[in-house]
C-alpha cells in the first residue's frame, strides 16, 4: 500500500476527515495535480467506502440575453450532480476536489478542511502555476507563531511586585511570576520591611511639642506591669533608655510597628490573638496620645518634652544615613465615648500619625530642629524635629522655603 | 504511467506595473487635512477647470449658427434669442438627503447612502456660475442624463418667467487618451473582484477559498490552470470587510475592547489576501464598509492591516478611486460609490455601466460630490476631473458584470476619438462572481464560482 493510500485510509476511512487535494499535496509533498490523481485513484478503489466531491470547470452556454457576457463556471459539486452539470457547460472538465467518509452538505465543513489544509503559499513549490511575485520581507515579529521572548527586566527582580511608584513595574509584575521578595538586610535595622526579629528595635524618636517623656515613662512603667497589654512597641518604648545609641534609628519604625498588625513578631503577644493585638496597641498609643494631649493643653507653647538625648543626637545621623525617615506628627481626631449617663460624647483628641519623609526633607527639618534644640535645649525634653521645626517656623513667621509643612496643626496652632 | 504534472510560469507584467504610469490621476490627499473650508471653492475650481472644455465643445456644436450666441454669465441672459450658457448643474429636490435629517436620526455620522431617487416631480434644475443661477426648464431635461455637479452648456432662451428653456445640452467630453506604448501580443488578463464583505460571523467562505485556489493556479484542470497563469494582475475594487455598525446611542467603552473582533476579522482577511498576493500582483482598494475614510477619495487603508500581504512585491494598497497601469494599459476605477450615487439621479433607468460611461463624457467621475456624495473639501483642485481618458474604467460592487464602450456622444470627446472600456465588477458576496478583462482584445469575461449542495442536486 502506497503512502497516499495509507494516508487516505487513515484520514478518510478511519478518522472521517475531509481530505482535499491541497492537503494531500502538502502531506505527501507532491504536485497538486498529482494529488488530484491520487484522490481519484483511491476513490475508484474504495467507492463504496467514501464519497468524492468534484470540481467542475467549463464555459456557460450563452443564453438568449445578448447583453450577458460570456462566463466561466467553476462549481464544486458532489458526484450525484456531476453529470447534470457537465451537460450544461461547454468544454467541461472535472477533477476530484476532496474525499470524505460520507456526503457533506455543510459548506463550512469544507471551509474548515481547507483551513486545515493550510495556505496556498505553503505549497507554492507544488503549485501548478509559478508565482510571478517575490517575497520581499518576512512576517512581522508579532505574526510569528512563537513570539520572541521578552527580555526580563532587571527592575522586576529588584523591585517588589506591587511597586509604589511605577505602574509599569506593577504591570510587569502581574505578567511575570512574582519574584521572591528581597531578603531583608540584616545590617539595616532601620528598614521598615526587613526588621531583624532578634534585635529589639530602638525606640522611635518621638518628637513632639509636649513634655512627653515623663508621661511616657510613667505609662511605660504602668504597662510593664501588665503583660497582657504589652506589645512590641510598648516593649520597645520601655527599653528606650536601655538601648544603645546605635539602635535609636530603629525605634522610629518600631514605634510605628505598633500600628502595624503584620509586623509583630514578638512572642509576648501569644496571650492575645493577632487580631486583638492591634486594637490593644492602638488603644495604648491613643491613651498615650490622650495623656500627651492633656499635657499639651496644659503646657501649650511652653516647655516641650525633649526627646531622649540619644534619639535626638541620632536624628541627624538617622536622616543622613537613610533615605526615608519614619516620623510622627500630631493630628486631631474625634473620639466618641460614653459618659457616665450613657450619652455619646465626642471630643477632639490630639493624636499622632506616622509618616515618612525623604532624606532631603529630613535634612532641612533636622537642620532646623538642631538649631532649635541648641537654642532651647533646656526646655525641650522630647521634641519631634520636624514638627518642632515647623511649629517654630509657623510661630516665627515664614519659614525659609526649604522646610516643608509637616503638621497640619501648624495652620491651626495657637499663636 | 502517470503523466508528469507540469508547472506553468505565470505571465509577468512588463516594466510598467500597477505603479508605473499610474500617476495620470492622483487621489491621495497630502499634507495636513482640514475640514474648515467651504465646498464653494471646490465648485468654483471645478467650473474653472471644465469651462474651457465645455466652451470648446459648445463652440464646435453651436458656434457655426448665426442665430446662436454665447452669453458669458448666467445672469446676463435676457430676451428670447437663442443663446448658450455654461455653468454647473444643480438639482434642487425635496427627495435629496438632508444633513440635518440624518443627524436627527442618528447620534453619530449617518451613512451617506440613501435609498430612493433624488429627482422627483418637485425637482428643479438650476444652472449656476460665478454670477448666479438660473432655473432650467424644458422637455430636454427629462431626457438628459444629468446629475448635480455636472458642468454643462445649455442652449436655449429665457422664458417670460425668468427661467431658461433648454433646447440642447453639451458637456466637456472625454479628454485625450494616450496611445499604448506597445502592442500586446498575447492574452493577458486582469482579474477584477469586489465586495467580499467579510463579516465577523463569516470571515471566510468556501467560495472565497475556491477563488484563492483559482487565482493561485491550483484549481481546475490543466486548461484552467493555464488560463489562470495568464492573469497578470488582480484588482480588489473595495468591499473587503463589513464591519458591524454600532447601535444607536452606543458609546464605545475603551475598557471593553469592542474592536477586538474587528481586528481579528481584518487579520483574517489579510491572511486570505496574502494567499493571492503570493502568487499574482494584487491591488487593493478600499470600499464603502472598509476601515478608512468615509468621504471620497478614500485613502489607502492602514498598512498595518496588510502585514502579511506587504511581504510580497506585487502588493499595492491604493486609494478609491485609483489609477493603475498594467502593461501600458491605463486603468481608472472606483469601488462604486460614485456610480451608486448617480443612480439616484437617473429617471430613465440607466444601468451602472451607462452611468459610468456618461461620467467619462462629463469628464468628471464623481460630479455629485460634494452635494450627495461625501467628499473632502478640496480648494485648489478637483481630483475627480479627468486629465486623460483611461483605457479601462472599472466600477466595483455592482449587481452584475457588464461591459460597454465609452464613445464620444453628444458631440463630445477628445481629439482622436478616445474610447474607454467601461466595465462593472459584481459584488462577490452576492453573486460569487469575478471578472476577467483581456488586455489585448478588451474582452470581458465573468467567472462564477460556486458550490452546490446535495439538496440542490436532488432538485
Residues of chain B positioned with their CB less than 8 A from the CB of A73: 447-448, 450
Residues of chain A positioned with their CB less than 8 A from the CB of B216: 120-121, 127, 129
For A263, residues 6+ apart whose C-beta sits below 8 A from its C-beta are A195, A232, A257
- Short-list B220, B140, B267, B410, CA closest to A139: B267
Phi-psi region of B103 (alpha: psi -120 to 50; beta: other; left: phi over 0): alpha
- B310 to chain A, closest Cα gap in Å: 8
Q: Does A141 touch chain B (CB under 8 A)?
A: no
Is the pLDDT confidence value at A166 over 60? no
As a whole number, mean pLDDT of residues B82-111 equals 77
Q: For residues A261, A265, A270 and A275, what is the CA-based torsion angle, rounded to 10 degrees?
A: 10
Q: What is the DSSP letter of A180?
A: P
Question: Are residues B131 and B71 in contact, defined by beta-carbon separation less than 8 angstroms?
Answer: no
pLDDT score recorded for residue A366: 46
pLDDT score recorded for residue B113: 53
Q: Does A78 touch chain B (CB under 8 A)?
A: yes
Q: For residues B288, B290, B293 and B296, what is the CA-based torsion angle, rounded to 10 degrees?
A: -30
Say whether B312 and A77 touch across the interface (CB within 8 A): no
Is the pLDDT confidence value at A411 over 70? no
CA distance linking residue A281 with residue A229, whole number of Å: 8
| pLDDT confidence bin for A1, thresholds 50/70/90 | low
As a whole number, mean pLDDT of residues A196-216 equals 47
Architecture of domain B40-106+115-171: Beta Barrel (2.40)
- Short-list A89, A4, A14, A104, CA closest to A51: A104
pTM above 0.90, yes or no: no
- B251 to chain A, closest Cα gap in Å: 27
CA distance linking residue A338 with residue A327, whole number of Å: 32
Provide Rg for chain A, Cα atoms. 43
Using a pLDDT cut of 90, give the percent of chain B over it. 61
| pLDDT confidence bin for B203, thresholds 50/70/90 | very high
| pLDDT confidence bin for A137, thresholds 50/70/90 | low
Mutate to test the interface with B, among A38, A133, A141, A142 (most CBs of B within 10 A): A133
Q: Is the peptide bond before B79 cis (omega within 30 degrees of 0)?
A: no
As a whole number, mean pLDDT of residues A410-414 equals 63
- Short-list B411, B389, B382, B388, CA closest to B48: B382
Q: What are phi and psi of B248, to 5 degrees?
A: -60, 130
More confident residue, B226 or A307: B226
- Domain limits, chain B: 40-106+115-171, 189-246+257-361+383-457
Strand-strand pairing, A324-338 and A71-78: unpaired
Q: What is the DSSP letter of A9?
A: I
Is the pLDDT confidence value at A258 over 50? no
Say whether B279 and A84 touch across the interface (CB within 8 A): no
CA distance linking residue A298 with residue A289, whole number of Å: 14
* Chain A with chain B: Cβ pairs closer than 8 A: 194
| pLDDT confidence bin for A351, thresholds 50/70/90 | confident
| pLDDT confidence bin for B2, thresholds 50/70/90 | low
Is the pLDDT confidence value at B376 over 50? yes
As a whole number, mean pLDDT of residues A171-185 equals 50
Say whether A72 and B447 touch across the interface (CB within 8 A): yes
| pLDDT confidence bin for A344, thresholds 50/70/90 | confident
Architecture of domain B189-246+257-361+383-457: 4-Layer Sandwich (3.60)
pLDDT score recorded for residue A401: 52
pLDDT tens per residue, range B300-348: 999 999 999 999 999 999 999 999 999 889 999 999 999 999 999 988 8
Q: How many CB atoms lie within 10 A of CB B298?
A: 27
For A62, residues 6+ apart whose C-beta sits below 8 A from its C-beta are A68, A70
pLDDT score recorded for residue A381: 46
What is the complex's ipTM, to 2 decimals? 0.85
Task: Tell me which of A407-411, B145-149, B161-165, B272-276 is least confident.
Answer: A407-411
- Short-list B102, B285, B31, CA closest to B293: B285
> What is the rounded end-to-end Cα distance, in angstroms, of chain A?
107
pLDDT score recorded for residue A139: 61
As a whole number, mean pLDDT of residues A247-268 equals 47
- B402 to chain A, closest Cα gap in Å: 7
Residues of chain A positioned with their CB less than 8 A from the CB of B213: 22, 120
pLDDT tens per residue, range A49-98: 999 999 999 998 776 655 566 689 999 999 888 998 888 888 899 999 99
Q: What are phi and psi of A174, to 5 degrees?
A: -75, -35
Q: Does B455 touch chain A (CB under 8 A)?
A: yes
Question: Are residues A257 and A207 in contact, defined by beta-carbon separation less than 8 angstroms?
Answer: no
Say whether B448 and A70 touch across the interface (CB within 8 A): no
Mutate to test the interface with B, among A2, A102, A120 (most CBs of B within 10 A): A120
CA distance linking residue B192 with residue A69, whole number of Å: 15
Using a pLDDT cut of 70, give the percent of chain A over it. 39
pLDDT score recorded for residue B416: 54
Q: Does A107 touch chain B (CB under 8 A)?
A: yes
CA distance linking residue B436 with residue A89, whole number of Å: 19
Question: Are residues B298 and B338 in contact, defined by beta-carbon separation less than 8 angstroms?
Answer: no
As a whole number, mean pLDDT of residues B376-400 equals 93
Task: Tell me which of A406-410, B3-7, B406-410 is least confident.
Answer: B406-410
Helices and strands (H and E) in chain A: how many: 15, 7
| pLDDT confidence bin for B147, thresholds 50/70/90 | very high
SS (H, E, C) A53-101: EEEEEEEECCCCCCCCCCEEEEEEEEHHHHHHHHHHEEEEEEEEEEEEC
Q: Does B122 touch chain A (CB under 8 A)?
A: no
Say whether B447 and A34 touch across the interface (CB within 8 A): no
Of A236-245, B277-286, B401-410, highest mean pLDDT: B277-286
Question: Are residues B78 and B134 in contact, defined by beta-carbon separation less than 8 angstroms?
Answer: no
| pLDDT confidence bin for B63, thresholds 50/70/90 | confident
pLDDT score recorded for residue A37: 93
Task: Tell me which of A381-390, B328-337, B380-389 is least confident.
Answer: A381-390
- Short-list A342, A175, A359, A200, CA closest to A266: A200
Say whether A76 and B204 touch across the interface (CB within 8 A): no
- Indicate the SS3 state at residue A352: strand
**Diameter over CA atoms, chain A:** 121
Do domains B40-106+115-171 and B189-246+257-361+383-457 share one topology? The answer is: no
Of A268-277, B9-18, B23-32, highest mean pLDDT: B23-32
More confident residue, A408 or B157: B157
Phi-psi region of B18 (alpha: psi -120 to 50; beta: other; left: phi over 0): alpha
As a whole number, mean pLDDT of residues A371-383 equals 48
Task: Tell me which of A74-78, A172-176, B209-213, B433-437 is least confident.
Answer: A172-176
Residues of chain A positioned with their CB less than 8 A from the CB of B278: 120-121, 124, 131, 133, 135
Q: For residues A37, A43, A45 and A48, what is the CA-based torsion angle, rounded to 10 degrees?
A: -170
Q: Does A114 touch chain B (CB under 8 A)?
A: yes
Is the pLDDT confidence value at A223 over 70? no
Amino acid at each position: 500500500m502506497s503512502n497516499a493510500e495509507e494516508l487516505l485510509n487513515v484520514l478518510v476511512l478511519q478518522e472521517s476527515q475531509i481530505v482535499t487535494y491541497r492537503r494531500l499535496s502538502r502531506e505527501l509533498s507532491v504536485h497538486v495535480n498529482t494529488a488530484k490523481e491520487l484522490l481519484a485513484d483511491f476513490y475508484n478503489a474504495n467507492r463504496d467506502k467514501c464519497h468524492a466531491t468534484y470540481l467542475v470547470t467549463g464555459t456557460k452556454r450563452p443564453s438568449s440575453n445578448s447583453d450577458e457576457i460570456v462566463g466561466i463556471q467553476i462549481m464544486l459539486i458532489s458526484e450525484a450532480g456531476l453529470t447534470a452539470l457537465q451537460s450544461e457547460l461547454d468544454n467541461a472538465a472535472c477533477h476530484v476536489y476532496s474525499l470524505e467518509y460520507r456526503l457533506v452538505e455543510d459548506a463550512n465543513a469544507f471551509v474548515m478542511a481547507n483551513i486545515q489544509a493550510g495556505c496556498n503559499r505553503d505549497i507554492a513549490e507544488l503549485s501548478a502555476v509559478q508565482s510571478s511575485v517575490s517575497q520581499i520581507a518576512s512576517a512581522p515579529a508579532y505574526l510569528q507563531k512563537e513570539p520572541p521572548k521578552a527580555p526580563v527586566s532587571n527592575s522586576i527582580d529588584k523591585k517588589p511586585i506591587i511597586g509604589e511608584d511605577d505602574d509599569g513595574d506593577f504591570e510587569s509584575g502581574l505578567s511575570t511570576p512574582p519574584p521572591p521578595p528581597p531578603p531583608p538586610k540584616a545590617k539595616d535595622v532601620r528598614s521598615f520591611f526587613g526588621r531583624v526579629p532578634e534585635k529589639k528595635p530602638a525606640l522611635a524618636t518621638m518628637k513632639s511639642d509636649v513634655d512627653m517623656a515623663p508621661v511616657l515613662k510613667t505609662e511605660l512603667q504602668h504597662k510593664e506591669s501588665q503583660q497582657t497589654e504589652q506589645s512590641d512597641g510598648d516593649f520597645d518604648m520601655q527599653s528606650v533608655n536601655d538601648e544603645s545609641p546605635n539602635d535609636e534609628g530603629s525605634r522610629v519604625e518600631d514605634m510605628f510597628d505598633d500600628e502595624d498588625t503584620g509586623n509583630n513578631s514578638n512572642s509576648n503577644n501569644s496571650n492575645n490573638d493577632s487580631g486583638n493585638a492591634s486594637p490593644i496597641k492602638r488603644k495604648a498609643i491613643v491613651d498615650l496620645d490622650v495623656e500627651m494631649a492633656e499635657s499639651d493643653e496644659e503646657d501649650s507653647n511652653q516647655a516641650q518634652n525633649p526627646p531622649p538625648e540619644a534619639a535626638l543626637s541620632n536624628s541627624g545621623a538617622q536622616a543622613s544615613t537613610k533615605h526615608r525617615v519614619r516620623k510622627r506628627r500630631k493630628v486631631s481626631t474625634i473620639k466618641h465615648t460614653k459618659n457616665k449617663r450613657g450619652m455619646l460624647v465626642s471630643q477632639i483628641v490630639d493624636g499622632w500619625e506616622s509618616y515618612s519623609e525623604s532624606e532631603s526633607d529630613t535634612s532641612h527639618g533636622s537642620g532646623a530642629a538642631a538649631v532649635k534644640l541648641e537654642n532651647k535645649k533646656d526646655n525641650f525634653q522630647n521634641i519631634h524635629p520636624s514638627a518642632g521645626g515647623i511649629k517654630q517656623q509657623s510661630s516665627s513667621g515664614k519659614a525659609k522655603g526649604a522646610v516643608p509643612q509637616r503638621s497640619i496643626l501648624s495652620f491651626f496652632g495657637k499663636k | 504511467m502517470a503523466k508528469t504534472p507540469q508547472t506553468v510560469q505565470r505571465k509577468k507584467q512588463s516594466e510598467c506595473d500597477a505603479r508605473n504610469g499610474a500617476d495620470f490621476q492622483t487621489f491621495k490627499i497630502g499634507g495636513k487635512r482640514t475640514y474648515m473650508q467651504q465646498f464653494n471653492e471646490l465648485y468654483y475650481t471645478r467650473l474653472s477647470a471644465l469651462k474651457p472644455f465645455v466652451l470648446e465643445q459648445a463652440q464646435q456644436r453651436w458656434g457655426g449658427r448665426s442665430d446662436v450666441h454665447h452669453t458669458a454669465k448666467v445672469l446676463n441672459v435676457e430676451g428670447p434669442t437663442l443663446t448658450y450658457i455654461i455653468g454647473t448643474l444643480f438639482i434642487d429636490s425635496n427627495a435629496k438627503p438632508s444633513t440635518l435629517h440624518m443627524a436627527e436620526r442618528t447620534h453619530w455620522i449617518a451613512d451617506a447612502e440613501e435609498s430612493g431617487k433624488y429627482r422627483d416631480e418637485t425637482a428643479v434644475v438650476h444652472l449656476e456660475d460665478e454670477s448666479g443661477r438660473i432655473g432650467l426648464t424644458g422637455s430636454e431635461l427629462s431626457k438628459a442624463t444629468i446629475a448635480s455637479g455636472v458642468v454643462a452648456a445649455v442652449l436655449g432662451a429665457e422664458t417670460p418667467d425668468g427661467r431658461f428653456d433648454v433646447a440642447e445640452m453639451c458637456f466637456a467630453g472625454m479628454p485625450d487618451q494616450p496611445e499604448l506604448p506597445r502592442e500586446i501580443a498575447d492574452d493577458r488578463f486582469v482579474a477584477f473582484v469586489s465586495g467580499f464583505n467579510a463579516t465577523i460571523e463569516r470571515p471566510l467562505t468556501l467560495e472565497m477559498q475556491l477563488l484563492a485556489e483559482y487565482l493561485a493556479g491550483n484549481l481546475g484542470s490543466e486548461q484552467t490552470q493555464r488560463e489562470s497563469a495568464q492573469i497578470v494582475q488582480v484588482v480588489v475594487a473595495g468591499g473587503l470587510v463589513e464591519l458591524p455598525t454600532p447601535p444607536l446611542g452606543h458609546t464605545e467603552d475603551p475598557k471593553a475592547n469592542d474592536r477586538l473582533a474587528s481586528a481579528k476579522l481584518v487579520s483574517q482577511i489579510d491572511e486570505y489576501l496574502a494567499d493571492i498576493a503570493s502568487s499574482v500582483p494584487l491591488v487593493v482598494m478600499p470600499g464603502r464598509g472598509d476601515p478608512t475614510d468615509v468621504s471620497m477619495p478614500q485613502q489607502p487603508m492602514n498598512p498595518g492591516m496588510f502585514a502579511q500581504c506587504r511581504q510580497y512585491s506585487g502588493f499595492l494598497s491604493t486609494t478609491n478611486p485609483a489609477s493603475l497601469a498594467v502593461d501600458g494599459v491605463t486603468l481608472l476605477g472606483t469601488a462604486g460609490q460614485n456610480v451608486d450615487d448617480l443612480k439616484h439621479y437617473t429617471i430613465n433607468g440607466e444601468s451602472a455601466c451607462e452611468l459610468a460611461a456618461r461620467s467619462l463624457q462629463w469628464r468628471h467621475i464623481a460630479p455629485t460630490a460634494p452635494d450627495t456624495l461625501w467628499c473632502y473639501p478640496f480648494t485648489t483642485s478637483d481630483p475627480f476631473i479627468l486629465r486623460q481618458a483611461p483605457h479601462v474604467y472599472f466600477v466595483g460592487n455592482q449587481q452584475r458584470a457588464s461591459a460597454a464602450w465609452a464613445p464620444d456622444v453628444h458631440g463630445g470627446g477628445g481629439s482622436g476619438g478616445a474610447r474607454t472600456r467601461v466595465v462593472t465588477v459584481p459584488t462577490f458576496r452576492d453573486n460569487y462572481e469575478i471578472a476577467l478583462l483581456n488586455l489585448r482584445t478588451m474582452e470581458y469575461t465573468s467567472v462564477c464560482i460556486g458550490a452546490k449542495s446535495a439538496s440542490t442536486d436532488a432538485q
